[in-house]
Amino acid sequence: MDYIRVVIAHPHPVIVQGLSSVLEAQREFKIVARCADVASCIEAIRMFKPHITIAGISMPGIGGLEILAFANSEEVSTRVVLFASAVEDRDLQTFAGAGAYAVLPHDVDLEILIQVLRQVASGRRLRPSDRLAPEEQGVVEKSVPTLTDRERQIMRLVSEGLSNKEIGRRLNLTDGTIKVHLHHIFQKLEVSNRTALAAFAMSQDDPFDSSVED
């Protein structure tokens, strides 16, 4: 069996162990190294040539951006997925532009995590506005019908990196109204921040016209 080789690099042992447990339960993944800093991660990439490297954005020795720079400069074949506690919308675009195949929050649903890693392993680069393949969206699809059309518009625009003010201008709504909608969306989807919402949105495959008014 051909395994998807994975290096996990994160300064917090609990997160490393958690990721390890999740991936080891999937037959197609094989963890080849666990690292706590950038230097050991880069050495592991050189040694084991993993298909995927899951790296914390903040790590001893700068962090995920240095790993991205290494992967890009030396044309390493590993695909870097960044893992973060919280990321601003503008940072999602920055990391994607720097070469990250995906940026995921610490509180990402475990099944979404597996789906995203499978997509990355197949060579797909997931941007904030991307979606998972239709055949893999069933696990998260159940939550979407609970959103109103307006809430789905706002969710999609958040995933595209727009700020509240930009969304308000796009939809002709006040900043306060956008905040209220986001509060309801977070409650309905049981996510805690905009990064988690963006990760959820990119797992959806239904086309949605964010310019349509209620």
Domain parsing of the chain, residue ranges: 4-130, 138-202
CB atoms within 10 A of CB 72: 12
pLDDT of residue 75: 66
Residue 21: phi, psi to the nearest 5?
A: -60, -40
Strands of 79-84's sheet in order across: 29-35, 4-9, 52-56, 79-84, 102-105
pLDDT of residue 42: 92
Task: Report strand pairing: 102-105 vs 79-84.
Answer: parallel
Asked: is 4-130 a CATH 3.30.300.130 domain? The reply is: no
Q: Which fold has domain 138-202?
A: Arc Repressor Mutant, subunit A (1.10.10)
Q: How far apart are the first and last CA of the chain?
A: 51
Closest C-alpha among 209, 199, 54 to residue 130: 199
Spell out the per-residue pLDDT of the chain, length 214, in tens.
Answer: 578 999 999 988 988 998 999 999 988 999 999 999 999 999 999 999 999 999 988 776 666 788 888 887 766 789 999 987 766 656 677 777 778 888 888 878 888 888 889 888 888 887 654 444 443 333 333 334 478 889 889 988 988 888 899 999 999 999 889 999 998 888 877 777 777 777 667 655 443 444 444 4
pLDDT of residue 67: 87
What's the Cα-to-Cα distance from 64 to each of 87, 96, 97, rounded to whole Å?
13, 12, 13
Contact 84, 128 (CB under 8 A): no
Contact 199, 104 (CB under 8 A): yes
pLDDT of residue 133: 42
pLDDT of residue 149: 85
pLDDT of residue 126: 75
Contact 82, 102 (CB under 8 A): yes
- In the chain, the amino acid numbered 77 is S
DSSP state of 146: G
